[in-house]
Amino acid sequence: MRLVDSHCHLNADRFEADVDDVLARAQAAGLERILVPGWNVRSCERALELAEVHPWLDASVGVHPHDAAKVDAAGWEGIARAASDSSVVAIGETGLDYDRVFSPIPDQLTNLRRNLALALETGKPAILHCRSAANRRDGQDALLAELRAAGLGGGAWTVAFGDRPPAVIHSFSGSQDYARAVLDLGLAISFSGLAFRGGEEASRQVAAFVPAERLLVETDSPFLAPPGAPRSRNEPEWVRVTAAWVAEARGEDLAGLGAALVDAYDGTFPRSRARA
């Protein structure tokens, strides 16, 4: 079984003591790629360190909506510089969180725009977090408006990315029409353990129609444990639960889906020549 984890916070403090054991379990479960996204200055630095020590890991750097109001100009400059590192394959995670609103919405919007600008400048796809409160869709609507205003789906983005997705909707949450709208802009969609929660029933239909080359899976460890994984700390090996759910939703066999997931990962996050 071949697998990827396209979003896994091994840079979180909760993995500091035993990351080598976690990686050994991940490799035993068939994982060939893990993308470690930063969310603030410190976690971006730690993502780079991990990708340096473990060359089979990839890093991404950016600022999460929760931290939008907490990263100062010098912090952002450091992150923007790190974005050109050869171990960095994406920008983020960034996005909008209209559910918890840990940073004021105007700060989230400013932060999203500078992360998108950095994605366009570097040609590395943006990793987008997007959540609304239960039974609402204001976060998704605002994100779509921002992506359209930034010009995704055409112009300079097409020049910079060609056929590659210019962004990934990480830990998909939302309706079928929202999914179709982001696919129309050329984005990829990644599913996590969130898909198993109440209120996320549309995810099953979405998982069935996302084109294979734009379909990803992730754990978002240490968060969002799928059924069967320890709720105290999710780990990359548990991506197999979400992959099995996706395979079932698509009526595909798990081994074939796993190989397609590796291809989709490599097509979305190509490594620079120096590291390949």
Measured between alpha carbons, how far is 78 from 71 in angstroms, rounded to an integer?
10
Which is closer to Zn ion, CB of 95 or CB of 250?
95
CA atoms within 13 A on the CB side of 275: 19
Which is closer to Zn ion, CB of 157 or CB of 242?
242
* Shortest reach from residue 191's CB to Zn ion, in Å: 13
Residue 47's CB is within 10 A of a number of other CB atoms, namely 27
Which is closer to Zn ion, CB of 221 or CB of 250?
221
Measured between alpha carbons, how far is 160 from 119 in angstroms, rounded to an integer?
9
* Shortest reach from residue 220's CB to Zn ion, in Å: 5
Which is closer to Zn ion, CB of 93 or CB of 200?
93
Which is closer to Zn ion, CB of 220 or CB of 237?
220
Residue 162's CB is within 10 A of a number of other CB atoms, namely 10
Which is closer to Zn ion, CB of 116 or CB of 128?
128
The contacts of residue 231 (CB under 8 Å, 6+ apart) are 225
* Shortest reach from residue 38's CB to Zn ion, in Å: 10
Residue with tokens 């725009």: 113
* Shortest reach from residue 61's CB to Zn ion, in Å: 13
Write the DSSP string, 99-165: TT-SS-HHHHHHHHHHHHHHHHHHT-PEEEEEE-STT--HHHHHHHHHHHHHTTTSHHHHHHHTTS-
Shortest CA distance to 192 belongs to which of 136, 140, 235, 142?
235
Measured between alpha carbons, how far is 203 from 226 in angstroms, rounded to an integer?
14
Which is closer to Zn ion, CB of 157 or CB of 234?
234
Alpha-carbon distance values, 46 to 39, 61, 186, 234 (Å):
10, 10, 30, 19
Q: Which positions touch Zn ion (CB under 5 A)?
A: 93, 220
Which is closer to Zn ion, CB of 58 or CB of 93?
93
Q: Are the CB atoms for 50 and 86 separated by under 8 Å?
A: no
Q: Are the CB atoms for 207 and 255 separated by under 8 Å?
A: no
Nearest residue to Zn ion by CB is 220
Query: What would you measure as the largest C-alpha separation in the chain, in angstroms?
Result: 49
